[in-house]
Amino acid sequence: MAPTGLQREAKMPARRVSIARAEPTADEAKAGSITELREAAKSCRRCPLWRDATQTVFGEGPDDAQVVFVGEQPGDQEDLAGKPFVGPAGRVFDAILDDAGVDRQKVYVTNAVKHFKFEPRGKRRIHSKPNAGEIQACRWWIDQEFDLIKPNIAVALGATAATSLLGKAVPVMKMRGQVIEREDGLRVFVTIHPSLILRIREPADKQAERDRFLDDMRKVKRLMAA
Ligand code: URA
């Protein structure tokens, strides 16, 4: 069958990947609902990141959302608020979703890693990238979020999310805009993390990156219903 315009546009599906699920620890059972899962995640000790973080920052949004956005890990403000994407990157993300006509209240937003990892520097806490072990440990939660929500599409915001969702490190810039289909049928749209836009200093480059991300979000909006 000839690919549809949307399949051509989003290069869908580029390939099919299989990934190994995270194993439960001795005292863990699968949750029956997102509410139960969120409650269980509050006492997560699957990796050492809980020790320094304020709290588990679990996903938020309707439990029947058509799309699940996956970020890297909570930042400083998210760690304090207990909510994903409420800091500077979250504000950029919200504004671009709005421009794309995607209602944040109707989507589910979560992170690959659910505790803030940081290095203390004076009074500040500087974001530190989660490693492969921490990403894999947290797969226990994200796999269940997907099992319960069953969205039409997952959006990997950046490299950590793509690693979590695809089971291996992938070149995000090369794969940006592609939809990868997992063996379990989940379609994963790969794009950048919105914090990249924040880090660009040169105004024209910043605007160009924002425009590209907006274009990605417009594609996601079309894929949500497809
Ligand atoms: N960056 C993320 O990846 N997630 C958040 O929740 C906030 C910033």
Q: What is the pLDDT of residues 119-153, one digit of tens each?
A: 999 999 999 999 999 999 999 999 999 999 999 99
Please indicate whether residue 194, judged by its CB atom, sits closer than 6 Å to ligand 1: no
Please indicate whether residue 85, judged by its CB atom, sits closer than 6 Å to ligand 1: yes
Q: Output the CA 142–ligand 1 centroid distance in Å.
A: 15
Pairing label, strands 153-157, 67-71: parallel
Please indicate whether residue 160, judged by its CB atom, sits closer than 6 Å to ligand 1: no
Q: Output the CA 3–ligand 1 centroid distance in Å.
A: 34
Burial of residue 155 (number of CB atoms within 10 Å: 0-12, 13-18, 19+): buried
Q: Which atom of ligand 1 is nearest to the CA of 77?
A: 7
Question: What is the per-residue pLDDT for 28?
Answer: 85
Mean pLDDT of 80-107: 98
Among the residues of the chain, which ranges form H helices? 5-9, 34-41, 76-81, 88-100, 132-149, 159-166, 172-175, 195-199, 203-225
Would you tell me which CATH number, out of the four given (3.40.470.10, 3.30.465.10, 3.20.20.140, 2.30.140.10), belongs to the domain 5-13+31-225?
3.40.470.10
Q: Output the CA 123–ligand 1 centroid distance in Å.
A: 20
By residue count, the chain amounts to 226
Question: What is the per-residue pLDDT for 1?
Answer: 43
**118 pLDDT more than 50:** yes
Please indicate whether residue 59, judged by its CB atom, sits closer than 6 Å to ligand 1: no
- Helix/strand/coil for 156: strand
Please indicate whether residue 110, judged by its CB atom, sits closer than 6 Å to ligand 1: no
Q: Output the CA 72–ligand 1 centroid distance in Å.
A: 6
Cα–Cα dist 191/132, whole Å: 19
CB atoms < 10 A from the CB of 107, how many?
21
**Cα within 13 Å of Cα(115), Cβ side:** 22
Question: In the chain, where are the structural domains located?
Answer: 5-13+31-225
Question: What is the per-residue pLDDT for 4?
Answer: 47
Cα–Cα dist 168/132, whole Å: 9
Q: What is the pTM of this model?
A: 0.92
Cα–Cα dist 202/67, whole Å: 32
pLDDT digits (tens, 9 = 90+) for 1-32: 444 454 455 555 555 787 878 888 877 889 99
Question: What is the per-residue pLDDT for 18?
Answer: 79
Q: Output the CA 109–ligand 1 centroid distance in Å.
A: 9
pLDDT digits (tens, 9 = 90+) for 157-203: 999 999 999 999 999 999 999 999 999 999 999 999 999 999 999 99
Please indicate whether residue 73, judged by its CB atom, sits closer than 6 Å to ligand 1: yes
Q: Are 100 and 189 in contact (CB under 8 A)?
A: no
Q: Output the CA 157–ligand 1 centroid distance in Å.
A: 9
CB atoms < 10 A from the CB of 174, how many?
9
Question: What is the per-residue pLDDT for 10?
Answer: 52
Q: Which atom of ligand 1 is nearest to the CA of 111?
A: 4
- Tokens standing for 32? 């029956």
Please indicate whether residue 164, judged by its CB atom, sits closer than 6 Å to ligand 1: no
Q: Output the CA 1–ligand 1 centroid distance in Å.
A: 39
Q: Which atom of ligand 1 is nearest to the CA of 83?
A: 6
- Helix/strand/coil for 51: helix
**103 pLDDT more than 70:** yes
- Helix/strand/coil for 47: coil
Task: Identify which of 67, 74, 93 has the alpha carbon closest to the alpha carbon of residue 146.
Answer: 67
Considering only residues 37 and 17, tell me which one the structure prediction assigns the higher pLDDT.
37
